[in-house]
Homo-oligomer: A and B are copies of this chain.
C-alpha cells in the first residue's frame, strides 16, 4: 500500500505518523496472514533493521486500541493480528496453522436474520463471527 494511504489511516486516528508505525501498518496490510508479533518484527526488519521489539508490541497494541487491527487467538498460544478490510469470518486449518479470511455476505444475511427472530434474552449482539475449523485437503505449502 502507498505510504500516503498508510499515513492517512494513522492520522485519521489521531496518531503521529512515524516511520515505525508506517512500517508496522505496511506489514499488516501486505502480509494478510494474520501474523503474530514475531512475524511482524521479521517483516519490518527487512527495511527497518533496528526497530525495537518493544516498539512493535506497543505499536500493535495502539492499533488494536484505535480499532485499526483486531487480535486473533488460536488455541496455540501466541497473539495474532488481523487487518480487517471488511467484515469476515475465519477458516482455521488445524494441520497447517493457517487462518484465512472467509467473506460471505449470504452467510451474514442468514445469521443476521436468524438472530433477528431468535433473540438471546437480555443480550445485545454486536457481532457474529463464525469459526470454520477443519483441514485443507491438499495441503498448501506454508
Interface residues of A (CB under 8 A from B): 70-75, 77, 79, 91, 93-94, 102, 104, 106-107, 110-111, 114-115, 118, 120, 122-138
Q: Name the residue of chain B whose CB is nearest to the CB of A130.
A: B130
Chain B residues with CB under 8 A of A110 = 110, 114
Q: Select A133's contact among B93, B114, B125, beta carbons within 8 Å.
A: B125
Q: Report the copy number of this chain in the oligomer.
A: 2
CB pair B123–A133 under 8 Å, yes or no, is no
CB pair A122–B134 under 8 Å, yes or no, is no
CB pair A129–B131 under 8 Å, yes or no, is yes
Q: Select A122's contact among B72, B74, B124, B136, beta carbons within 8 Å.
A: B136
- Can you name 28 A-B residue pairings with CB atoms under 8 Å? A71-B75, A73-B73, A91-B123, A94-B126, A104-B118, A106-B118, A110-B110, A110-B114, A111-B130, A115-B132, A120-B132, A122-B136, A122-B137, A122-B138, A123-B136, A123-B137, A124-B135, A124-B137, A125-B132, A125-B134, A126-B133, A126-B134, A126-B135, A127-B134, A128-B130, A129-B131, A130-B131, A131-B131
